[in-house]
Amino acid sequence: MVPANPSAEGSGASPVPPQPSGPGEGRHTAPRALQHHPAVLEQQQQQVHSVELRLADRITAFAGSMKFVYLHVVMFAIWMLFIEKSPWPTLTLIVSLEAIFLSTFVMIGQNRQAAFQQAKADHDFTEQELELKTNTQLTREIHTLTAELHKRFLENPARQQS
């Protein structure tokens, strides 16, 4: 038996998977490189170039974690038990300020997610419209060719015999 990739013999490497030989063949089975949606790539570029977006993403990610909850439970317990005898006025002020900032970060994230979804939907719509136009044109061409073949071979069989 000859290996699919002779250079891989004895190296422990897996053989090269068969490549599709014609259009449509192997469409669902051939491995494809992971390609990101253009809206994802655009969002990644924005994040790379913006310190504010990276900071907002990190704060939002931390605020949405259980570490954030545990940290606050410990901080509030220490504050109420050891730092102030009457912690409620100061603690209320701090918690209110923190809520204002955290809600702002959440809204920033929601706005970015909405913009991302809209960009993705716009791109997908454009691609689907292009595919629909291509398919419509191909269908028209197939119909024209079928009509021409029908006309040549079925309506005028005498021309073929001579």
What is the rounded average pLDDT of the residues 57-62?
90
Name, in order, each residue with C-beta under 8 angstroms of 84's C-beta and a sequence gap of 6 or more.
90, 91
pLDDT band at 160 (very low <50, low <70, confident <90, very high): low
pLDDT at 29: 52
Total-model pTM: 0.54
For the chain, the domains span 38-125
What is the rounded average pLDDT of the residues 150-160?
75
Q: Give me the chain's average pLDDT, please.
A: 79
Query: Quick check: 33 pLDDT over 80?
Result: no
DSSP 5-74: SGGGTTTTPPPPPPPP-STTTTTTTS-------HHHHHHHHHHHH-HHHHHHHHHHHHHTSHHHHHHHHH
| C-alpha separations of 108 from 56, 57, 65, 136, 138 in Å | 8, 9, 17, 42, 45
Percent of the chain whose pLDDT exceeds 70: 75
pLDDT band at 12 (very low <50, low <70, confident <90, very high): very low
pLDDT at 27: 47
Which residue carries 């000859």 as its tokens?
2
Query: Which amino acid, one-letter code, is at 148?
Result: E
Q: Which residue has the higher pLDDT, 156 or 68?
A: 68
| C-alpha separations of 86 from 72, 74, 124, 128 in Å | 18, 17, 58, 63
Query: Which amino acid, one-letter code, is at 27?
Result: R
Please give the torsion angle defined by the CA atoms of residues 24, 25, 27 and 30, in that order, rounded to the nearest 10 degrees: -150
